[in-house]
Amino acid sequence: MGARIYLDWNATAPVRPAVVEAVRLALGETGNASSVHGEGRAARNRLDQARRQVAAMVHCLPSEVVFMSGGTEANNAILSLASWRNVLVSAIEHDSVRLVRPDAIVVPVTSQGIVDLAWLANALAKVEGPTLVSVMLANNETGVIQPIGEIASLVHAARACLHSDAVQAAGRMAIDCRAIGCDYLSLSSHKIGGPQGVGALIVRGTAPFAVRQVGGGQERGRRGGTENVAGVVGFGVAAGLATEGLAMMTTVARLRDRFEAGCLSKLPAAHVWGAAANRLPNTSCIAMPGVAAETQVMALDLAGIAVSAGAACSSGRVRSSHVLAAMGAAPPNESIRVSLGEATTEAEIDRLIAVWCGLANRRRGNVTQAVAA
């Protein structure tokens, strides 16, 4: 069967060797970043360096970076603020956004997975009081990139605030908080080759924010608890390398296109979700009609290829995708997500095409035999 092929980078990216070394060195040092002695100041310096690296990745001020345990906590931290009288979320948000506020107004998307801007503008015209709109920068299942700049203009014209989950976008497209105009931005370390269990919420300027977790006043009083210094250090190194690696995304996009073209040439009935939209260069969500996503994922896994179906935060369950359902998929459970990275090769993509198309041919053969019988 040969070496395994990892094509689930959107679930978690392989940890970069330089990150491993940086974390190892940080773990070898002793010191609490809140202490005033030499060891404590050294730990604080390591945190400050990582804060600058993360800020540089998304073009914000270091003081606007609040380190957290990951993208889920960052999303929860801002969506759960009691001060929001109204919360609007897009229909394709990650569960860590859409499940926080059961009373949230759900903004529909088009068949290409783009937020319906006219619908959003109309909804904003009807709400009163403190309002938050949450729209992810790029979707974790389809890779579709939202017109965040246009959305920010609509949101701010209505005197509301904008949060964007940029967990999947980081390291795969350039992000400039100032240019896109968001008030809050969520990030996660392990999506860009850093350690798991570390992330950040960017709180821009004077955007409102209330502390949920109190303790020792860490993170400028915005999140209590001793910082995960080694994890944050790894996050910072990964952020710097992810920025440098953006130049590789052209090659990654070519490999994604190679995969889609190869599959569609042999199975014209297949469908690539969001193909007509602006997408992340590394992400493809493709449907094999008549074959459940779980069957596809298992067959590929047995062939030594790791892909996924939907989001990776479902406790090992494969379930129908609310993202594809919002885009009009019927049924929404016949698609897999293939997500590439800088280490992906043409040979790996060609192997994936062969295995995926082989599965499709076997399934069609079984159907033909059943009909003939």
Which pLDDT band, with edges at 50, 70 and 90, does 152 fall under?
A: very high
Which pLDDT band, with edges at 50, 70 and 90, does 135 fall under?
A: very high
pLDDT of 6: 98
Which pLDDT band, with edges at 50, 70 and 90, does 226 fall under?
A: confident
| Strand-strand pairing, 305-306 and 5-6 | parallel
* Tens of pLDDT, residues 290-318: 999 999 999 999 999 999 996 555 545 56
3-state secondary structure of 87: strand
pLDDT of 371: 29
Q: How far apart are CA 167 and CA 182, in angstroms?
A: 14
Cis-peptide into 281, omega within 30 deg = no
**Whether 135 contacts 115, CB under 8 Å:** yes
Cis-peptide into 332, omega within 30 deg = no
Q: How far apart are CA 13 and CA 30, in angstroms?
A: 28
Q: Report domain extents, the chain.
A: 5-13+247-372, 17-245
Only one residue has tokens 């001793």, namely 226
Q: What rounded mean pLDDT belongs to the chain?
A: 93
Share of the chain above pLDDT 90, in %: 85
Angle between helices 38-58 and 229-244 (to 10 degrees): 30
Strand partners, 335: 287
**Whether 285 contacts 143, CB under 8 Å:** yes
Share of the chain above pLDDT 70, in %: 94
3-state secondary structure 292-354: CHHHHHHHHHHCCEECECCCCCCCCCCCCCHHHHHCCCCCCCCEEEEECCCCCCHHHHHHHHH
User: Which helix H or strand E contains 262, and what residues bound it?
Assistant: helix 249-266
pLDDT of 200: 98
| Strand-strand pairing, 305-306 and 271-272 | unpaired
Mean pLDDT for 209-230 is: 87
Which pLDDT band, with edges at 50, 70 and 90, does 365 fall under?
A: low
3-state secondary structure of 34: coil
327 phi and psi, to 5 degrees?
A: -90, 0
Domain 17-245 CATH class label: alpha beta
* Tens of pLDDT, residues 185-205: 999 999 999 999 999 999 999
Which pLDDT band, with edges at 50, 70 and 90, does 368 fall under?
A: very low
Which pLDDT band, with edges at 50, 70 and 90, does 366 fall under?
A: low
pLDDT of 20: 98
Dump the DSSP string for 114-164: -B-HHHHHHHHTT--SSEEEE--SB-TTT-BBP-HHHHHHHHHHTT-EEEE
* Tens of pLDDT, residues 49-97: 999 999 999 999 999 999 999 999 999 999 999 999 999 999 999 999 9
Q: How far apart are CA 357 and CA 31, in angstroms?
A: 55
Active site residues: 313
The CATH H-level superfamily of 5-13+247-372 is Aspartate Aminotransferase, domain 1 (3.90.1150.10)
**Whether 133 contacts 165, CB under 8 Å:** no
With 80 as the cut, is the pLDDT of residue 3 above it?
A: yes
**Whether 123 contacts 108, CB under 8 Å:** no
Dump the DSSP string for 3-27: S-EE-BTTT-PPPPHHHHHHHHHHH
Q: How far apart are CA 107 and CA 133, in angstroms?
A: 9
Q: How far apart are CA 52 and CA 41, in angstroms?
A: 16
With 70 as the cut, is the pLDDT of residue 353 above it?
A: yes
Contacts of 213 by beta carbon, 8 Å cutoff, 6+ apart: 223, 224, 225
User: Which helix H or strand E contains 68, and what residues bound it?
Assistant: strand 65-68
pLDDT of 312: 54
Question: Which residue type does 230 have?
Answer: A
> Tokens at residue 361, please?
């041919």
Q: Which of 104, 149, 93 is nearest to 131 (CA)?
A: 104
Q: How far apart are CA 278 and CA 154, in angstroms?
A: 20
With 50 as the cut, is the pLDDT of residue 373 above it?
A: no
**Whether 271 contacts 259, CB under 8 Å:** no
Which pLDDT band, with edges at 50, 70 and 90, does 212 fall under?
A: confident
Mean pLDDT for 256-271 is: 97
> Tokens at residue 3, please?
């070496």
Only one residue has tokens 């059943």, namely 370
Q: How far apart are CA 193 and CA 242, in angstroms?
A: 8
